[in-house]
Chain A
Amino acid sequence: MLSVDISKFLRADGPDKVTGSGRYSADISLTGMAHAKFLYAGVASARITTLDTAAAKAIPGVFAVLTQADVPDIRFGSVADRYLFAKDVVRFEGEVVAAVAAVDADTAQRAVDAIVFEYDALPVVNDIEAALEPDAPLVHEDWESYSARRIVMDRNIASQTILTLGDADAALADADLVIEGRYIADASHAAPIEPRGVVAQWEGDKVTIWTSSQVPFQARDGVCETLELPTNRVRIIVPHLGGGFGGKCGFHYEAHIAALARAARRPVRLVFSRREEFLAPDRRREGMIVELTTGLRSDGTIAARKARILLDYGAYSSDATFFPHMAAMHALGPYKIDNVYAESSAVYTNRQPSGSVRAPTAPQACWALETHTDELAAAVGMDPVAFRRLNGVDTGASGVSGQVFDAIGLQECITLATEDVGYGDVLPGDEAIGVAIGWWPSFPGASGAYVKLDSDGKGVIVTGAQECGTGAVMTLPYLVANELGMQPEDFELVYQDTSAAPYDVGATGSQTLLNNGIATIEASYQIASRLREIAASMLEAEADDIVLENGHAHVDGSPDTAIPIARLARRANHTGMLIGKGARIAPPDPKTSISAIGDQGVSSFAGPQFSCHAVRVKLDRDTGVARVLAVSAAHDSGTIVNPIGAAGQVEGGVLMGIGQALTERTEYDDKGRQVNPALLDYKLQTFADAPPISVQFVEVFTPDMGPHGAKAIAEAPNVATAAAISNALGKLVGLPMRELPMTSERVWRAIQAVGS
């Protein structure tokens, strides 16, 4: 079906990035450009008593100083719970209080330091369980005036979902065995290597904003909403993006810088330091407490499961209102269970807001569930892999939301990953293999593209999609070339520009190739049929009989009389041009039978992806230092359109998962401030830590999802790794892991606990 050879995939953006000729937001420099700096709250919870910018404005070289008083009085966000700048109160340390534009960064910083900012400290909500106490201080005093469709709020509960299928209590009462567990995951960060940059320039009443965003259209909509501008006066352009991992989803500082540029009457650039990148954006992988109760029958099948989940949501809602629902689905898991009950709450705290970080909520919830699952297997005396085979979903089975699955490959993933890692082999005493399974939906969503062929037969794909490093946009030329019988190199990409391209949701929810691939193929169909018509008239044949192949058109069966596509294209200029357009129309959601209060629309997993990760871990029992020796990851993400790109996603997801498992952790002091907002003390994995990662795909053709039967891919690999490592460590230590990350010191303490 894909006749173009994609096995030697070369990214069109690769040379730019490798040679340094590529330009990122922070590289942009405009004539007369000023430099922005923010004043941050620096305190997690306080009422502002003085905010005086007079002295800052008086400093020579300062062009503008803005606070909330200088921008429209608009509350925004998915439950409209925040303003651009702090208004009256600050709710987390990284909240922007004021912004300065000045002739250079040092002057801007001096102006920030000259702003008189005084406040009365308020109590800090720094613990998600304490936040639920009836007398707990409220992070948002006015929560009752906030509103949003489908969202259940209550005091410090920012969003709650309750899922019910069957009768969990009754089934637990009847179960032969009931196992409980409580698991606590710390918050972590997306930590993209490029700290964000934003540049804004006004020309008349139009503003162009260059920004490090994964979601340029959302960024545009945020600017339009907060500065009260129509969409056609705001143009967002994203230069090369230096990674995102979700950290650059959502609307962040584009409006602040646009407002500054307007006030300063010149272009303004903001470039974040690493510290700001850690503290300020409303993007953090939330901390979580997961309590699970599972009832088992003596034959090892699962009779019922209850889950109680608390998410450390931070101070504002960001894009995270669906997180409780999503976390619940992951805590219930890809298992056949007829009786479930989950109560999942996102809890406001005076901490940095949570937001979409790669597979939001899944790695933590999957870690909790899969650690618990090994405990269940042990309780019924079953091998943990056999237990997963018995209880895991399969084609035709009904899952925890009552969704009946079409053809899926979970069971085969289990087989492939465990065989590949050598599950069952005799290992040295300090090594063990842990296995976990996970799932993640595909997200069909709005997405558009144009394709054109110019008169020399060269093409341009104009897409709304955003390339965040995954290579998804880079794959589009292959899809188009495949439809038109051309080569990927025949196509240029115009992308990441909201004024040039139709709408796209952005590089969020692994949806780029899934949706934009469909839109782009549809656009190329239109060109293909025009080419066939022109060729048919020249060859005196029926359009349906024309084959587009090797850059030529010929009549089926007569390849010797072929017309170069370039000639057809030249002719097309006089006969109506070669312009195609496409848009993804989302298919209806699969049916479920679960009841959901606070329904956020994720009970049904469209195009559900499944995975099994099996890891071999070596543990130094004297120190608790764990080393991941090998990872085998098997994934059902439907048809794999781009094997190199897909394998890269799995390898990256696994490595990110190892970091979450062992080292990545954002710590807070008792005042709600981050203790380690620096790469010095927030430990990502390095190449020296990376084990061999073997990747296998179970290619199940999935209709009505992505191009050629594909599902999504980018987030699914970031679900099950930490869970698998947990299960290996659990075997080595002799106790289930209860805290994430499983740092050497925590593992050592668990070893001590077993010993004593």
Chain B
Amino acid sequence: MEFVAAKDLDEALVAKANHPDAEFLAGGTDLMVEVNLAHHRPSSAIGLRRVDELREMTDLRIGAGVTWATLESHPHRALAQAARTVGSPQIRAAGTLGGNIGTASPAGDGLPWIAALDGTIELRSKDRGTRVMPWREFFVGVKRTAILPDEAIVAVRIPEDTPARQEFAKIGVRNAMVISTVSCVVTHGDNGTTVALGSVAPTPMRATRAEEMINAEKNPSEAALAEFARIVSEEVRPITDHRSTESYRRHGAGVLARRLLERCLS
């Protein structure tokens, strides 16, 4: 396997344009697992560790190369909460938000947050420059995205009027180093409530019917909260695999969404 350590974004994009088969290597915490399990042997890899542009970060734009360790203290509460649940200290020191997006696993813990805040993915290529894609268009299936072979993920952008409250939680079988059985972000603010979930569909998803239902309530009653949870459970589209069953994931999605909503409202 050939390896190029790009010094800056331009060099990375040139390398990618010349070798569209090459894989970007950010923290390597997904890619190297694939390589080691021999699911995948890329012909070459382009290292992004030295690309400073990818580590730029503001409240509304997070570079793809920002690590989970950095995100643990991000002002966006739900993102910081998610960051703190990722892997172990070693994984958080290496793994990046861009890598999480690039892998596009249904269980990617950074993805529900992007969906809940209606984030967009900033992509760039040597020949066509920058394009910005809504998350819904970007994530197209299990580990499949709309990225083109010559593009890099540069950043995640978040719309300006961020909600006042946001909460993340996940269910997993232990307290660290765990793949989410269900993950969830709920936001609440002047524009109402949003609910996004992970591990319950091929891509991160929004529970739009549940959002509509709860946004119609001024002061949600116990019954309304229960109904909200029920609709979330109904809306999600999980599968049964060796990690969990469809019914447990459905149930867990409703439980998490309701708890997080209650936290947002408290």
Please list the residues of chain A having a beta carbon within 8 angstroms of any beta carbon in chain B: 275, 622-623, 625, 627, 662-663, 667, 675-676, 678, 680-681, 683, 685-689, 743-745, 748
Contact = CB atoms under 8 A, between A and B. Distances in A.
Contacts of B5: none
A744 B242 contact: no
Interface string B171-184: 10111111100000
Nearest to B241: A675
Interface residues of B, number: 20
A683 B242 contact: no
A275 B39 CA distance: 14
Give the dominant DSSP class at B's interface. Answer: loop
A683 B178 contact: yes
Interface in B78-119: 88
A275 B178 CA distance: 18
Contact of A744 (B37, B173, B176): B173
Nearest to B256: A623
Given A623-B171, A687-B176, A748-B251, 12 more contacts: A622-B255, A623-B252, A623-B255, A627-B175, A667-B242, A675-B242, A676-B242, A681-B242, A681-B243, A686-B177, A689-B176, A748-B248
Contacts of A627: 175
B130 interface: no
22 contacts: A275-B37, A623-B171, A623-B255, A625-B171, A627-B175, A662-B174, A663-B173, A667-B242, A675-B242, A680-B33, A680-B179, A681-B243, A686-B176, A686-B177, A687-B176, A688-B174, A688-B175, A689-B176, A745-B244, A745-B248, A748-B248, A748-B251
A689 B173 CA distance: 10
A202 B255 CA distance: 63
B245 interface: yes
Contacts of A680: 33, 179
A688 B243 contact: no
A743 B173 contact: yes
Most chain B Cβ neighbours within 10 Å, of A275, A667, A688: A688
Contacts of A683: 173-174, 178
Nearest to B254: A622
B223 to A, nearest CB: 17
B246 to A, nearest CB: 11
A667 B242 CA distance: 8
Contacts of A688: 174-176
Interface in B208-266: 242-245, 248, 251-252, 255, 259
Interface string B12-43: 00000000000000000000010001000000
Nearest to B33: A680
Contacts of B174: 662-663, 683, 685-686, 688-689
Most chain A Cβ neighbours within 10 Å, of B174, B179, B242: B174
Give the dominant DSSP class at A's interface. Answer: loop
A215 to B, nearest CB: 30
Interface of B: 33, 37, 88, 171, 173-179, 242-245, 248, 251-252, 255, 259
A686 B242 contact: no
Most chain B Cβ neighbours within 10 Å, of A622, A678, A685, A689: A622
Nearest to A659: B174
Contacts of B259: 622
B200 to A, nearest CB: 14
Nearest to A627: B175
A675 B255 CA distance: 28
Contacts of B178: 683
Contacts of B177: 686
Contacts of B252: 623
A464 to B, nearest CB: 38
A683 B252 CA distance: 20
A627 B175 CA distance: 9
Nearest to A749: B248
A662 B178 CA distance: 14
Nearest to A109: B38
Contacts of B243: 681
Contacts of A744: 171, 173
Contacts of A275: 37
Contacts of A745: 244-245, 248
A676 to B, nearest CB: 6
A703 B181 CA distance: 53
Nearest to A748: B248
A551 B30 CA distance: 58
Nearest to A625: B171
A744 B242 CA distance: 14
A481 B124 CA distance: 70
A626 to B, nearest CB: 10
Contacts of A676: 242
Nearest to B179: A680
Nearest to B259: A622
A689 B171 CA distance: 14
A743 B173 CA distance: 7
B84 to A, nearest CB: 11
B34 to A, nearest CB: 12
A678 B33 CA distance: 11
A745 B173 CA distance: 9
Contacts of B173: 662-663, 683, 743-744
B40 to A, nearest CB: 15
In order of increasing CB-CB distance, the 4 nearest A-B pairs are A688-B176, A688-B175, A686-B176, A622-B255
B242 A689 contact: no
Nearest to B255: A622
Nearest to B178: A683
A586 B177 CA distance: 46
A680 B242 CA distance: 12
Contacts of A625: 171
Contacts of A663: 173-174
Nearest to A741: B173
Contacts of B179: 680
A42 to B, nearest CB: 14
A58 B252 CA distance: 56
Nearest to A690: B175
B244 A689 contact: no
A680 B173 CA distance: 11
A662 B252 CA distance: 18
A686 B178 CA distance: 10
Contacts of A675: 242
A744 to B, nearest CB: 6
Contacts of B171: 623, 625, 744
A161 to B, nearest CB: 34
A685 B175 CA distance: 8
Contacts of A689: 174-176
A627 B171 CA distance: 13
Nearest to B229: A622
A749 to B, nearest CB: 8
Nearest to A678: B37
Nearest to B249: A745
Nearest to B36: A273
A685 B173 CA distance: 10
A756 to B, nearest CB: 14
Contact of B175 (A622, A678, A686, A743): A686
Contacts of B248: 745, 748
Contacts of A743: 173
B124 to A, nearest CB: 32
B243 to A, nearest CB: 7
A400 B149 CA distance: 71
Nearest to B177: A686
A675 B176 CA distance: 22
B186 to A, nearest CB: 16
Contacts of A681: 242-243
Contacts of B37: 275, 678
A733 B70 CA distance: 40
Nearest to A273: B36
A410 to B, nearest CB: 32
A689 B177 CA distance: 11
